Structure 1
Amino acid sequence: MTAPDRPEATPRPRRRPHHVYDAGRDPEPRDSLANERTFLAWVRTSLALVAGAVAVSSPALEFTLATRLVLSLGLVVVAGVALGVGWHRWTRTEIAMRTGGVPPGFTGGMVVLGAVGLLMAGALASTIISH
């Protein structure tokens, strides 16, 4: 029985994604916001890679059509991977903060960095071979 002078407790709305926000307890807001800013940095990186794909596909560059296509598609794929890595990292970090677990390492960033390096090496090799 509730006291007449006490307001009824309103149910807390479920936030999405449920598997993240239903785990553990809410962390400090500044920690959660820092995690979100890191995710947004991954999104910005993905957008920059897509912009690079558009730039590489330009006929103004001295690449063959096949090279432009491979580099453009490669950059778009790496952008998708970077976005996926950012989402996965945000999810794992948020759950770790909520449950007191161990935050993830930086393996995904190394994969994206390696992929971009391979694409750059391919572009350089293509330029050297074509001249």
Structure 2
Amino acid sequence: MVYLRLVGGATGCFGALALAAALLLCVAAADRSASRDEAVTCVIGKVTEEQQKGFGDGDVEITVYHHALRCPGGYPDALTKRERLGAKGGKIRVTFDSARRVAPEVNGDSSPWPFALLAVLFLAAATAGARRAA
């Protein structure tokens, strides 16, 4: 709101949206870079497919796959992804936080760099808009 007030006009509106998007992308990057200090090999149990309504205009539907897992120690017991991780009986390597503060991930799926790069681009756009308006 401060950015919108200081810059004003359409530039202020788009700049404020860019700042909000950058903030959300920073949160996503932080989640992806959170420590997942344990790794286990899990056996995939039942895989169920579900159609969900996507966000935005139109009747876009996305497919999500719910994977029941059998892991040593009993955790994690499930993963939900937009892609099928394997067939029933297959094995996957899963990393998770032993304190269970962040969601488990498939080993190697948690790179924060795409989100961080997009956040920098949105911040650069907001800064350029503020400089142009000044």
Normalising by structure 2, we get a TM-score of: 0.35
Could you say which structure has the higher strand fraction? 2
Q: Which has the higher contact order (CA 8 A, sep 6+)?
A: 2
